[in-house]
Amino acid sequence: MTRPTAAPRIDSARLKTHVDALNALAVDCSPDASSIHLHNGRDTSLPPADLHGSYTNNRPLPTEGIADRHAYIVGSGIAGLAAAFFLIRDGHMPGANITLLEALKVEGGALDGSGNAEEGYLIRGGREMDMTYQNFWDVFSEIPALELPAPFTVLDEYRIVNDADKNYSKARLLEKQGQLKDFSTMGLSKLRQLELIRLLLARKEDLDDITVEEWFSQDFLNTNFYMFWRTMFAFQNWHSVLEMKLYMHRFLHLMDGLNDMTALVFPKYNQYDSFVRPLMAWLKAQGVKTQYNTIVLDLQIEAGDKTLTTTAIQCRHNDKEETINIGARDLVFVTTGSIVEDTAYGDGDTVPQLTLAEHSPAAGSGWQLWKNLALKSPVFGRPEKFCGNVPASMWESATLTCTHSALTDKIKALSVNDPYSGKTASGGIITFTDSSWLMSFTVNRQPHFPDQPADVLVVWVYALIMDKPGDFIKKPMVECTGNEILTEMCFHLGLIEQVDEVIAASKVRTALMPYITGQFMPRAKGDRPWVVPAGCSNLACLGQFVETHNDVVFTLESSVRTARIGVYSLLGIKKQVPDIFPGQYDIRRLLRATRTLNNDEAFLGEGILRRLLGGTYFEHILPLGPDEKPEDLHKPGMFEQQLSALRTMFEKSQTLDAPKKWIQAAIDTLRGRR
């Protein structure tokens, strides 16, 4: 085991001229790439705001007096654990000077994974991962691997698993009790495509408190695209269209993998064993302390003319009130809110019961802590916007622990590989499009838990609609036992005649989460605090309810980003945290996304591009159509076909009524008129 490290003694005398110049340099540790005009010049000594890769992996020098400073981190979810990592690696703080304060008896927050084959495994949720999570993969490129020996890392293991086992789905959408539904295209008409373009062109500041259903037409909400979107990302019609816009920019480079899940990479095991266990082991080896059963109730904050300084942490540890005094140079990191707090659990025979008084967060919760902070200053935002409407932020999941039955046979038929092989199984969620609950399920690589028996499959199920009766079980999902949820699933798989056999071979554990999509609720400027709220001298906010320039919520990357920004900002580290991956500016990705959204048909102008670029060095930027090969780009015809189609359209109507109406509708859509 690695010994705890003390702050290193570094002799930088030979670099004094440059170190002094760097210390005098004003560095925005969280640059906004969307507000910067990219260029090279005398004013660009720092990398571009969204540069990713090795050049951004430099290690900063320690700040003065770091060995004598301490940090207290409220919450041991991925944001809190990442904050501890960056304090040690980039801040050079001794691990023994860092304390994690955790309300539960186990670390990990929303990244859970528990249970056993006898009682049933439990995962409240899972994570759809992306290769471009710069901050997340930076952390796990240094954390020792779970199963490989040193010097291999979690990232090394992840690449071994995914590089040789491509993720994809052959059954993304089902209907009519287990029949495949065509998911080959997005199903977007020209006008529906323009609704998306209008959102991409909109300014972020113009989208405050606007919902998805207020922005888009009902026809758009009925498309394949939106079915893929809402079930993959857990969006509801009443959620923030601003967040949907941010998602589109953040993941534009994945658009052509949205329908068949080829854009995703998944871990070998569940999220706790894959990420929390190895990271926590590294932190412990560095000397980081964790104080479990500690509910932080409030912070004592001293307000100056323009400053807010945290002086103490008020908490309840093992049911005893305690006060932790914060030194003059010590730091505090707080995870504001929680997507899994107040989760209610059930099993095959019981219904989860929310223990919320009028759907309010429990006393002493992370939500209450955020509310207490908001009472002290408006810089801490408005937590009620995210936790004040539980029916709109709630959904339920179920974990199935299955031995052989008709269900496992059906899963095998829907999977891209034998689910017992250890390779990709369902390739992501499979959605029942005609489910009144909008139910989906997924079977990730098995075993999903390291101790899982070879003859057991773990299946994760969730649904988005909580207030409608099922199609076979005539009551809402939230009123159902686990076995009733399993019965509804069997109905949609065409297995209702075998349901007794399936129930006998399955253990069901359910989780009803009142705030699971609270981060998606409509919001406006000022509703969320910045990572370091204005005036705060030693306090940073972390997690899913924190403002960043361009990143999205509900990803591991965004949580890790807030941790990194918080550490760099409070320690004054002269280094940038890279903005989101710049795929939205890559002409190759833009052209590919344009064709994908046009139902994988040639878009207007593609013929001209092929005429201009075909046979040149740049022809590889052109998207290929279904079953096309690179040499097909040299074939004549597309330009002539598109030109002929335009000519025919004009010739068919001498009054030009048809094209006039289409063009006017397009203009109206772009202008935001109904």
Q: Where are the alpha helices (DSSP H) in 9-123?
A: 16-24, 78-89
Confidence grade of residue 138 (pLDDT, cut at 50, 70, 90): very high
Report pLDDT for 532. Answer: 98
Quick one: average pLDDT of 318-331?
Answer: 97
Lowest mean pLDDT among 286-300, 355-369, 587-601, 624-638: 355-369
Quick one: average pLDDT of 300-320?
Answer: 96
Q: Is the pLDDT of residue 361 over 90?
A: no
Residues 183-204 pLDDT 10s: 999 999 999 999 999 999 999 9
Report pLDDT for 660. Answer: 59
Q: In the sheet that 457-463 helps form, which strands lie side by side, from edge to edge?
A: 179-180, 173-175, 430-432, 439-442, 457-463, 395-402, 506-513, 344-347
Report pLDDT for 3. Answer: 53
Tell me where in the chain the CATH 3.50.50.60 domain(s) lie: 13-109+272-388+519-582
Residues 445-479 pLDDT 10s: 999 999 999 999 999 999 999 999 999 999 999 99
Tell me the C-alpha distance between 277 and 268, whole Å. 13
Quick one: average pLDDT of 367-395?
Answer: 96
Half-sphere exposure of 470 (CA within 13 A, CB side): 22
* Main-chain dihedrals φ then ψ at residue 33, nearest 5 degrees: -65, -25
Quick one: average pLDDT of 28-32?
Answer: 96
Residues 94-104 pLDDT 10s: 999 999 999 99
Tell me the C-alpha distance between 438 and 431, whole Å. 7
For residues 46-68, one letter each, b for 16 or more C-beta atoms within 10 angstroms of the residue's C-beta and e for the rest, the string is ebbbbbbeeebeeebbbbeebee
Check residue 361 and report its DSSP letter. P
Q: In degrees to the nearest 10, what's the CA dihedral of 474, 476, 480, 483? A: 60
Q: Is the pLDDT of residue 56 over 60?
A: yes
Quick one: average pLDDT of 110-125?
Answer: 97
Neighbours of 639 (CB within 10 A): 18
CA 286, 288, 290, 295 torsion-angle sign: negative
Mean pLDDT, the chain, whole residue set: 94
Of 632 and 219, the structure prediction assigns the larger pLDDT to 219
Beta bridge partners of 309: 302
Check residue 275 and report its DSSP letter. I
Report pLDDT for 223. Answer: 98
What share of the chain has pLDDT > 90, as a percent? 89
Report pLDDT for 10. Answer: 75
Tell me the C-alpha distance between 407 and 87, whole Å. 47
DSSP codes joined into one string, 8-21: P----GGGHHHHHH
Report pLDDT for 573. Answer: 98
CATH class label, 13-109+272-388+519-582: alpha beta
Half-sphere exposure of 584 (CA within 13 A, CB side): 18
Closest CA to 363 of 293, 296, 290: 296
Q: Is the pLDDT of residue 552 over 70?
A: yes
Tell me the C-alpha distance between 561 and 222, whole Å. 34
Closest CA to 290 of 71, 142, 124: 71
Neighbours of 435 (CB within 10 A): 22
Report pLDDT for 1. Answer: 45
Report pLDDT for 643. Answer: 80
| The two structure tokens encoding residue 165 | 């086992």
Confidence grade of residue 364 (pLDDT, cut at 50, 70, 90): low
Quick one: average pLDDT of 564-573?
Answer: 98
Of 640 and 21, the structure prediction assigns the larger pLDDT to 21
Q: Do residues 101 and 74 touch, judged by C-beta distance below 8 A?
A: yes
Quick one: average pLDDT of 545-562?
Answer: 98
Q: Is the pLDDT of residue 358 over 80?
A: no
Q: Do residues 73 and 315 touch, judged by C-beta distance below 8 A?
A: no
Residue 341, burial from CB neighbour count under 10 angstroms (0-12, 13-18, 19+): buried
Tell me the C-alpha distance between 160 and 382, whole Å. 43
Q: Is the pLDDT of residue 144 over 60?
A: yes
Closest CA to 57 of 577, 581, 583: 577
Tell me the C-alpha distance between 92 and 97, whole Å. 11
Confidence grade of residue 4 (pLDDT, cut at 50, 70, 90): low
Q: Is the pLDDT of residue 652 over 90?
A: no
Q: What share of the chain is helix, strand, coil (3-state, %, to 5)?
A: 40, 15, 45
Q: Catalytic residue numbers?
A: 128, 247
Q: Is the pLDDT of residue 366 over 90?
A: no
Quick one: average pLDDT of 420-447?
Answer: 98
- Write the CA distances from 189 to 193, 220, 591, 593, 642, integer angstroms: 6, 9, 18, 15, 17
The SS3 of residue 415 is coil
Q: Is the pLDDT of residue 639 over 90?
A: no
Token pair 């079953």 in the structure block, residue:
627
Report pLDDT for 357. Answer: 46
E strands, 263-319, are 289-291, 294-303, 308-317
| The two structure tokens encoding residue 442 | 């997924």
Q: In the sheet that 331-335 helps form, which strands lie side by side, from edge to edge?
A: 289-291, 98-101, 71-74, 331-335, 539-542
- Write the CA distances from 541 to 250, 335, 560, integer angstroms: 22, 6, 12
| The two structure tokens encoding residue 653 | 């109507």
| The two structure tokens encoding residue 519 | 């981060």
Report pLDDT for 135. Answer: 97
Q: Do residues 275 and 140 touch, judged by C-beta distance below 8 A?
A: yes
Neighbours of 89 (CB within 10 A): 18
| The two structure tokens encoding residue 337 | 């809110």
